[in-house]
Amino acid sequence: MAKEPARVLVTGAAGQIGYALVPMIARGIMLGVDQPVILHLLDIPPAAEALNGVKMELVDAAFPLLKGVVATTDVVEACTGVNIAVMVGGFPRKEGMERKDVMTKNVSIYKSQASALEKHAAPNCKVLVVANPANTNALILKEFAPSIPEKNITCLTRLDHNRALGQVSERLNVQVSDVKNVIIWGNHSSSQYPDVNHATVKTPSGEKCVRELVADDAWLNGEFISTVQQRGAAIIKARKLSSALSAASSACDHIRDWVLGTPEGTWVSMGVYSDGSYNVPSGLIFSFPVTCQNGEWKIVQGLSIDEFSRKKLDATADELSEEKALAYSCLS
């Protein structure tokens, strides 16, 4: 007997990331090939015609798993009954805009969408915020949707996590599927800390540590970190557009592992509500290493944090606290 369809909301659905993401969801990449889906697509009125074009293409592709499409500019209709919400929509930074201007715009968007989600989404709706500043947008959403459990509000750092896996695999000339347990700590920004101290590679002679195999601490503590931190800019330089394909794919990974569970012995990175683990201030949305089971994430505890890492964690936590203060000042 077929499962009941899951309702998946994508905001900013007429944009680049949305266009990459929706066929992935419709093919079962996000929730599994046996899980029918109904897509809720939201965008702003100026994008209404383009949004309808996306809906038309979804119908044209005749996806067997796709049991309906609700394409709307009405946030209430968009949020109604959704089990998963992927918040891709946000105000992009334009030339000449100050950080505070971008923050003001996005804080306002996430405050109002928080309200609609809280009132109209299905119980236990899982939320993934993608639009930047992702961590702070997620924090605002949490603050203004108090009845959504804080554990259900996350932001995307799986893209950075996957980028780190990719860089290690290229450096070691191994398959990316043989690399695991990198960690992205902190903010989805250039202050993020990609940490390989607990990462391993599957080799013919068993699991080996990345740091040991790479045997180049200068690279791991230098260029590797900055490459991952600045990868978004490198993609923009090459494509003249920001990462859509990899962001969409990583969003699917984030939700899939959250809902279906992480493989044994493997953790992933998610931006989650900090509880003070690893001396990270509580009350921030901070990227941690997590395992997932039965639809819930849990921070991996007990990992050793050396002095170099401690400084990096503190720096990205500081940045997040500043963003939080800025966001709150925009609200008043």
Residue ranges at the known binding site for NAD(+): 12-18, 43, 106, 130-132
Our CB check for a second copy shows the closer of 134 and 280 to be: 134
Q: Give 18's Cβ-side CA count (13 Å radius).
A: 30
Q: Looking up tokens 């000449």, which residue turns up? A: 96
CB atoms within 10 A of CB 75: 20
Look-up of token digits 């940045």: 319
b/e for 108-122, b at 16 or more Cβ within 10 A?
ebbbebbbbbbebbe
Active site residues: 188
Q: Smallest gap, in angstroms, from Cβ of residue 251 to a second copy?
A: 11
Neighbours of 56 (CB within 10 A): 12
Contact status, residue 90 vs residue 109, Cβ threshold 8 Å: yes
How far CA 305 is from CA of 43, 51, 232, 310, 311, in Å, comes to 42, 46, 27, 6, 10
DSSP character at residue 31: T
Q: How far apart are the first and last CA of the chain?
A: 52
Q: At what angle do helices 245-260 and 158-172 cross, to 10 degrees?
A: 110
Contact residues: a second copy, CB under 8 A: 19-20, 22-24, 27, 29, 33, 49-50, 52-54, 56-64, 66-67, 159, 162-163, 165-166, 169-170, 175-177, 231, 234-235, 237-240, 243-246, 248-250, 253
Annotated binding residues for substrate, written as ranges, equal: 93, 99, 132, 163
Tokens of 175: 């398959």
Closest CB to a second copy among residues 49, 95: 49
Q: Are β-strands 179-180 and 193-195 bridged in parallel, bridged antiparallel, or unpaired?
A: unpaired
Q: How far apart are CA 12 and CA 208, in angstroms?
A: 42
Least Å from the CB of residue 56 to a second copy = 6
The secondary element (H helix, E strand) that includes residue 57 is helix 48-60
CA angle 109, 111, 116 (to 5 degrees): 95
d(Cα 156, Cα 133) in Å, to the nearest integer?
A: 10
Residue count (the chain): 332
